[in-house]
Each structure stands twice: as C-alpha cells, then as structure tokens.
Amino acid sequence: MAVVKKTIMEERQLIGKVIKTLRRGQITDITQKDVSNALGFSQPVFQQRIETGQRHLDVAELWEICKFLNVSFTEVAAKIEEALTQASKN
C-alpha cells in the first residue's frame, strides 16, 4: 500500500509540473494567486499545493484551470499523459 501511495504522490507532482509549465508559458505573467483567485480561492496556496503535488486535483478544478489559462483540456490531458508515461518508463 505504501508503494502505491508514493506512486500517486509522484504522479501528482508530475501533474503539478505540467500545470506550472502551462501557467508560466502564458504571454502575460500569470501568478499562482491569479489562478487561485480565478477558481474562487483567496490564497495562492491552493495553486501552490497543486503545482507541488501536495493537493489532490479533481477533473472539475483542472477544467477551470484550463479555461482560465485558455488552453485546451484535451491538450493538457495529453501533456499529463505524456509526462506520466515517460516517468513510468524510468
């Protein structure tokens, strides 16, 4: 069970890195606070915990993040799948 939990935490970290890369890749400088506020959270710690893998991210939240960043949900899902697949090969 501990191995599965460790793997899930590592996967959350990879997902967070993908989201962080997308956020930082925007034309304008979008901060963690900007994303958190757009999703109705007053503190940037919400987005910070997602990007570091400390917080579970559900599909609805990912959908809202994609809309805010103006990126396709499908594109983000593909990037996440690519990162997770690559990590599982290592």
Report CA Rg, the chain.
13
Q: What is the mean pLDDT of each run of 10 residues along the chain (90 residues)?
A: 73 94 88 93 91 92 94 96 89
Architecture of domain 2-89: Orthogonal Bundle (1.10)
Report d(CA 16, CA 10) in Å as an integer: 10
Q: pTM for the complete prediction?
A: 0.85
Instruction: Tell me how many helices (H) and strands (E) the chain has.
Output: 5, 0
Q: CB pairs under 8 A, 24+ apart, for 23-27?
A: 23/47, 23/51, 23/69, 26/69, 26/70
**Domain residue spans in the chain?**
2-89
Query: How confident is the model at residue 38, as a pLDDT?
Result: 92
And the tokens for 64? Answer: 């809202």
pLDDT tens digits along 40-65: 998 889 999 999 999 989 999 999 99
